[in-house]
Amino acid sequence: MSPTRSGGRNLPILPLLMIIPSFHPFFVPAIVFVFGAVVGSFLNVCIVRIPKRESVVSPPSHCPRCKTSLRFYDNVPLISYLLLRGRCRFCGGAISARYFFVELMTALLGVALWYRFGLGIAFFIYFAFVASLIVISFVDLDLRIIPDAISLPGIAVGFVASILSSSISAPFSYTPSPMDSFLGILLGGGILFLVAWVYQLLTGKEGMGGGDIKLLAMIGSFLGWASVLLTLFLASLTGSVVGVSFMLAKGVDTKYALPFGPFLCVGAVLDLFFGEELVSFLLSPY
Ligand SMILES: [Zn+2]
C-alpha cells in the first residue's frame, strides 16, 4: 500500500478537469441533463404527494411497498433505477418504470429547452412551466384531476415571469409580453369555460372539467394568447389520434374516456418548440 501513489499523480489533473470541460461542447448540455434528471426525481415525488396534499420535502423518499427510507445511493436519478434493475433493494418489490421515464423526460426536455432558448431567463421560466406540465399530466392520468395547487399559482407565475423577462431581456425575450400573457389567461380560461357552459346547456351534463379550464389559462399565461389557440388545436389533434387508436385497440368501448389535460400539456410543449414554424407552415398557402 503506498498512500502517495495516486495522490501525487492525480493532483495536477484536477484544474485541467475544471478548465477543459468548459470548452467542450457537451459540457453545458451535460450539466443541464443532470439538472433535469434531479428535478425529474423531485417531480416524481410531487406527482405522488401533491394530490394527497402531503409535503413534498418530508418524509424523505421511501419505497412505496416496504416503506423503507431510500439511501442516498438508491436515490440517484436515472442511475439507481438501472443499477437496482427496477427493484427495491430491501423488499425486492418492483419500482414503476415511470420514475425512470419521468426523470429521463425532464432531463431531455431540459436539454431541448437549452438548445432552443439558451441559458437565459427564458430557459428557467420555461423549465418551470414544462416541469409543472409533467406533474399535471401524470396526476391527471392517475386520478383524472388537475391540482389547483399547481395550475392556479402557475397562472400568476406565468404573468409575473412575463413582466420580469420583458423588463430584463427585451427585446431578445422569448417569453410573451405582459399584455400578451394577460390576454392568454383570459382567452385560455374563457374558451374552455364557454365550451363547458354550452355543452352543459345542450346536454345537461358536465363535460369539460374545471381543471382543464385553469390549465389552459396557465398555458396562456406562459405562452401568450395566440399559443392558446394553437395548443388547443394540437391537443385536439393528438387527443383524437390517440383516442381513436385507443378505441381500435381496446374495442369500441368509449367509457374509458382519456383525460384531456395531458393532451393540452403535449400541445403546449409542441407549441413552445415548434409554434412559430407550425404557424408559418399552416399559413404558407395563403
Ligand atoms: Zn421496498
Which is more confidently placed, 104 or 58? 104
Give 120-125 contacts, CB < 8 A, sequence gap 24+. Answer: 120/169, 120/172, 121/164, 121/165, 121/168, 121/169, 121/173, 121/175, 122/165, 122/169, 122/173, 122/174, 122/175, 125/161, 125/165, 125/175, 125/222
- 70, 101, 119: which is the final residue of a domain? 119
Residue 79 CA, ligand 1 centroid: distance in Å: 17
- 67, 100, 119: which is the final residue of a domain? 119
Residue 80 CA, ligand 1 centroid: distance in Å: 14
234 and 111 in one domain? no
Grid cell at residue 75: 436515490
Query: Which residue(s) pair with 94 in the sheet?
Result: 87
191 and 101 in one domain? no
Q: What is the pLDDT of residues 210-262, one digit of tens each?
A: 899 999 999 999 999 999 999 999 999 999 998 888 888 876 555 557 889 99
Residue 100 lies in a domain: yes
152 and 55 in one domain? no
176 and 154 in one domain? yes
Question: Which domain range does residue 172 map to?
Answer: 120-271
Tell me what pLDDT residue 13 has: 57
Residue 194's pLDDT band (boundaries 50, 70, 90)?
confident
- Beta carbons within 10 angstroms of residue 206's beta carbon: 10
123 in Cβ contact with 113 (< 8 Å): yes
184 and 115 in one domain? no
Q: What percent of the chain has pLDDT above 70? A: 86
Residue 145 CA, ligand 1 centroid: distance in Å: 28
Contacts of 185 (CB under 8 A, 6+ apart): 155, 158, 159, 217, 220, 221
Q: What is the pLDDT of residues 113-139, one digit of tens each?
A: 999 988 888 899 999 999 999 999 999
Share the mean pLDDT of the chain.
86
Tell me what pLDDT residue 286 has: 62
Lowest mean pLDDT among 92-106, 110-124, 203-217: 203-217
236 and 134 in one domain? yes
Residue 83 CA, ligand 1 centroid: distance in Å: 15
Tell me what pLDDT residue 136 has: 97
Number of domains in the chain: 2
Residue 129 CA, ligand 1 centroid: distance in Å: 32
Rg over alpha carbons for the chain, rounded to the nearest Å, is 22
219 and 79 in one domain? no
pTM over 0.75: yes
